[in-house]
């Protein structure tokens, strides 16, 4: 067992974990932050995206011990301090950027990372950035609209295919 200490959504936590424990498992099973979804365990779907030291990471591909000393933000940490939805979350809601909701936490976390690095991305840049996030329900059009709206840009009536 290895003791890891990390800051998750602004709170410092310490846990003893096996060397094989994935960050996604630590978040879900030990810290009960179940908004981080596990869809594939092979880094294909992006449902498990969290931010580690400000960078988007697929948490099913990172060992918990690798996050020792890191700052981790999950979907639960995305809301505003007063509990209201963040700009990105509100845009996903307003523009129907979700259906079943399974991919939504990873999409929101990826969108936040994209907008941090590229505050005004084009539709093509959004689509390229989201290549590592799979959605089986929406067809991505409304997700692209939501990200454009969150960036403060005009939202096209119909997103490009």
Q: Which long-range contacts (CB under 8 A, 24 or more apart) does 36-39 make?
A: 36/74, 36/75, 36/105, 37/102, 37/103, 37/105, 37/106, 39/102, 39/103, 39/134
Instruction: Please state, in angstroms and rounded to a whole number, the distance separating the CA atoms of residues 146 and 37.
Output: 20
Q: Over the stretch 42-64, which tens digit does the pLDDT of each residue have?
A: 889 999 999 999 999 999 999 99
Instruction: Mark whether 9 and 69 lie in a shared domain.
Output: yes
Instruction: Mark whether 22 and 51 lie in a shared domain.
Output: yes
Q: Over the stretch 134-146, which tens digit does the pLDDT of each residue have?
A: 998 888 999 999 9
Task: Report residue 160's pLDDT band, with 50, 70 and 90 as the boundaries.
Answer: low
Instruction: Mark whether 14 and 69 lie in a shared domain.
Output: yes
- Its pTM stands at 0.92
Q: In this structure, is residue 157 part of a structural domain?
A: no
Q: Over the stretch 7-42, which tens digit does the pLDDT of each residue have?
A: 999 999 999 999 999 999 999 999 999 999 998 878
Instruction: Mark whether 112 and 70 lie in a shared domain.
Output: no
* Total of domains in the chain: 2
Last-in-domain residue among 24, 53, 77 = 77
Q: Which long-range contacts (CB under 8 A, 24 or more apart) does 25-33 make?
A: 25/64, 26/64, 26/67, 27/59, 27/72, 27/74, 33/8, 33/9, 33/74, 33/76
Domain that holds residue 101: 87-150
Instruction: Mark whether 9 and 31 lie in a shared domain.
Output: yes
Nearest CA-CA partner of 110 in 160, 39, 47, 152: 47
Q: Residue 158's pLDDT is what?
A: 59
Q: For a pLDDT cut of 90, what percent of the chain falls above it?
A: 84
Q: Residue 41's pLDDT is what?
A: 75
Residue 161 has pLDDT above 90, yes or no: no
Report the CATH number at residue 144.
Answer: 1.10.150.120
């Amino acid at each position: 067992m290895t003791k890891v200490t990390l800051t998750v959504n602004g709170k410092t936590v310490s846990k003893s974990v096996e060397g094989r424990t994935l960050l996604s498992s630590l978040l879900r099973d030990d810290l009960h932050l179940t908004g981080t979804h596990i869809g594939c365990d092979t880094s294909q779907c992006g449902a498990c995206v969290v931010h580690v030291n400000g960078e988007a990471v697929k948490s099913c591909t990172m060992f918990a011990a690798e996050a020792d000393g890191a700052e981790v933000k999950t979907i639960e940490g995305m809301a505003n301090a007063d509990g209201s939805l963040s700009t990105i979350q509100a845009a996903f809601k307003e523009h129907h950027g979700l259906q079943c909701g399974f991919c939504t936490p990873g999409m929101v976390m990826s969108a936040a990372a994209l907008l941090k690095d590229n505050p005004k991305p084009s539709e093509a840049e959004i689509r390229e950035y989201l290549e590592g996030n799979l959605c089986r329900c929406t067809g991505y059009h409304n997700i692209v609209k939501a990200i454009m709206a969150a960036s403060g840009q005009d939202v096209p009536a119909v997103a490009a295919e």
